[in-house]
Structure 1
Amino acid sequence: MAELTAEKKKMVQESWGLVRSDMRSNAADFFLFFFKRHPTYQKLFNDFKDVKYEELDGNQKFRGHAVRVFFAITSLVDNLDDLDIVVDILQKTVKDHIPRGIKAKHYEDLMGSILAFLEKALGDKFTAAWKNSWETVAAVILSVVHAEIEADLTPAARENVQNSWGLVRKDMRKHAMGFFLFACVVVLFSYNGKIRSVMSK
């Protein structure tokens, strides 16, 4: 992963400054852009999942959600000089969205769309250096997202094991006998293999 230098942080903050100058319009425009690239993702937003794409821009809940997301991004950008805060914000965001079925792929597509939107919206102002800086920030963000999602899998996996073992415990005698017979078969075949090996010598 490329190093997130002070210069790159500054470039990201400068470029985002152009976006936040008209937060409401740019936020709505971004989500329209995002849903155009990923139409199925609109279904993940209960407040406007059934609103026709052509009617989204005039939907109050859609515009409100778009602005809230852009304020969240602004918090990340503003705190790039203190990555501990960035990590804390991201961890909370990921934890809040895991129960809603949001996976790493969704964040990857979101970050990819943000970069593409910035390139489109800012035009020639979005220089190669700015793009490279955003790519570095995106890599940092996604590394935290992936780590948090993977960490959350551990308790879920543990719960699955506990639930499956609970089914076994309901009829321990039956399953214990089945396991014993299975073990006997394994030992028998192993033992027969040794006999055949000795006899063939």
Structure 2
Amino acid sequence: MFQQLKQRFLSQTGEDDTKLNTKEIDLIRETWSHLRSDIAGFKTFGADLFIVFFQHYPDYQKQFKSFKDVPISFSTVSMQTMRYNKKLLAHGTYVMYTLSMIVDNLTNPETLDQMLKRFARNHYRRRIQITAFERLRDIFIVQLAERLGPELFGKKATIAWRKVFDYILNALDQMDSNKEMSSFSPNELTILQKVWYNITRTQSNVFGTNLFLRLFELHSNYLPMFGFPTTTCLKDETFRGCAKLAAHGANVMYALNMVFDNLDDLEMVDELLSKLVHSHVRRGIEPQMFDDIVQPFADVMDGIRSQFDSNEVEIIERAFMFVKQRIQQLYEEVDAADLFDDDSSHSSIDATII
């Protein structure tokens, strides 16, 4: 049945133009509004989409940690059970509302472009291949055709929806081509890694401790977040020399050391930082809070500036800002489905930036 529908709706579209015209956008929105008119059905459509996807391509299920071990079969009983699996339902729902966001912005090219770039970055660092999206697209169109029927979903709708997915595929392909390399030359990376390693090895306790002391001086509201009373006297020598404060500082130093050593591989950097972001999200730390560490970092760097060439300091500060900004971008890209994932690996690195 699937192959027959696929042949009927996906073959021989005869369209070379990949851009959506006004009529096609209207058709996309019309078909989508019919699907959204039934909210309950709209939510389970996403789960059903992945059930059918895994039935036809079982190897892809292994890429989803939340439900990789859940048995899926073609039986009606299995599908009814699986479609209400909370983690699968959450991921399917996330996909459906992501598509809604895309559909609603088809006439806003700049906004759409940023949405697609974010989507592409999110999936690129998870190593999801374009082939997987092509196969999911084919199943999506078949499922949508089955749900709406031939009167609402014919050849023109098929062509239009394939163009929507072409936008997504092009964004993924562009991401694969660019690989979003950082703006540091090989020589700058060598300088950064050598100098920061020396700072970490010889001054991690002093630098890290001073970083947090300066943060608490400027923003005392962070004291409880790190397990210190709001009444803490920052000038108290016992506090300034306590192991907990030194540990927080060392975590920052070595976390930055780890990231700086991998700035020649942005995919690896995103993997490392995404673990940190998931850990901070679960602790209720907001992305704007990372802005508050910038001034303390600059102040502590000023204290040791005379030990280094101005070029070395500039590279370190630029690298720090790059990491800070990338963390904040990754906050925006946290996959909603991941927040339903109980896998403890997200918090396995006890590295803290703030």
| TM-score > 0.5, shorter chain as reference | yes
User: Within 1, Cα distance between the matches of 2:56 and 2:32?
Assistant: 21
User: Within 2, Cα distance between the matches of 1:33 and 1:120?
Assistant: 13
Once the two structures are superposed, residues 40-67 of structure 1 have per-residue CA deviations (whole angstroms, 9 ceiling, x without a partner) of: 1111111111111134223111111110
Structure 1 counterpart of 2:22, which letter?
A
Q: Which runs of 5+ in 1 are unaligned?
A: 163-201
Change (3 A) 1:73 1:123: same
Once the two structures are superposed, residues 39-98 of structure 1 have per-residue CA deviations (whole angstroms, 9 ceiling, x without a partner) of: 211111111111111342231111111101110011001110112222211111121122
1:16 correspondence with 2:32: yes
Structure 2 counterpart of 1:126, which letter?
F
1:126 correspondence with 2:153: yes
Q: Superposition pairs for residues 159-178 of structure 1, below 5 Å?
A: none
8 Å CA contact retained: 1:104, 1:149: no
Who is 1:103 aligned against? 129
Equivalent of residue 26 in structure 1, options 5, 23, 45? 45
* Alignment: residue pair count: 159
TM-score, length-scaled by structure 1: 0.71
User: Within 1, Cα distance between the matches of 2:62 and 2:119?
Assistant: 19
1:56 correspondence with 2:72: no
How far off its partner does 1:36 sit?
1.9
8 Å CA contact retained: 1:103, 1:149: no
Change (3 A) 1:48 1:116: same
Structure 2 counterpart of 1:43, which letter?
K
Equivalent of residue 115 in structure 1, options 141, 152, 158? 141
Corresponding residue SS for 1:51:
coil
How far off its partner does 1:112 sit?
2.0
1:138 correspondence with 2:165: yes
Corresponding residue SS for 1:100:
coil
User: Within 2, Cα distance between the matches of 1:45 and 1:51?
Assistant: 10
Who is 1:46 aligned against? 65
Who is 2:55 aligned against? 36
Change (3 A) 1:80 1:116: same
Structure 2 counterpart of 1:133, which letter?
A
User: Within 2, Cα distance between the matches of 1:81 and 1:41?
Assistant: 33
Structure 2 counterpart of 1:40, which letter?
D
User: Within 1, Cα distance between the matches of 2:109 and 2:55?
Assistant: 32
Change (3 A) 1:34 1:19: farther
How far off its partner does 1:154 sit?
5.7
Who is 2:8 aligned against? none
8 Å CA contact retained: 1:56, 1:62: yes
Once the two structures are superposed, residues 88-146 of structure 1 have per-residue CA deviations (whole angstroms, 9 ceiling, x without a partner) of: 11111121122222122122222222212212222212121111211222222212221
8 Å CA contact retained: 1:11, 1:130: yes
Q: Superposition pairs for residues 181-192 of structure 1, below 5 Å?
A: none
TM-score, length-scaled by structure 2: 0.42
Structure showing greater relative contact order (alpha-carbon pairs closer than 8 Å, 6 or more residues apart): 1
Corresponding residue SS for 2:149:
helix
Q: Which structure has more helix as a fraction of its residues?
A: 1
The CA RMSD measured in Å over matched residues stands at 2.2
Equivalent of residue 105 in structure 2, options 79, 85, 96? 79
Q: Which runs of 5+ in 2 are unaligned?
A: 1-15, 73-77, 190-354
Once the two structures are superposed, residues 139-175 of structure 1 have per-residue CA deviations (whole angstroms, 9 ceiling, x without a partner) of: 22212221122111767xx99xx9xxxxxxxxxxxxx
Higher gyration radius (CA): 1
User: Within 2, Cα distance between the matches of 1:16 and 1:68?
Assistant: 15
Equivalent of residue 117 in structure 2, options 91, 105, 111? 91
User: Within 1, Cα distance between the matches of 2:67 and 2:159?
Assistant: 34
8 Å CA contact retained: 1:4, 1:133: yes
8 Å CA contact retained: 1:91, 1:144: yes
User: Within 1, Cα distance between the matches of 2:130 and 2:164?
Assistant: 16
8 Å CA contact retained: 1:30, 1:117: yes
Corresponding residue SS for 1:47:
coil
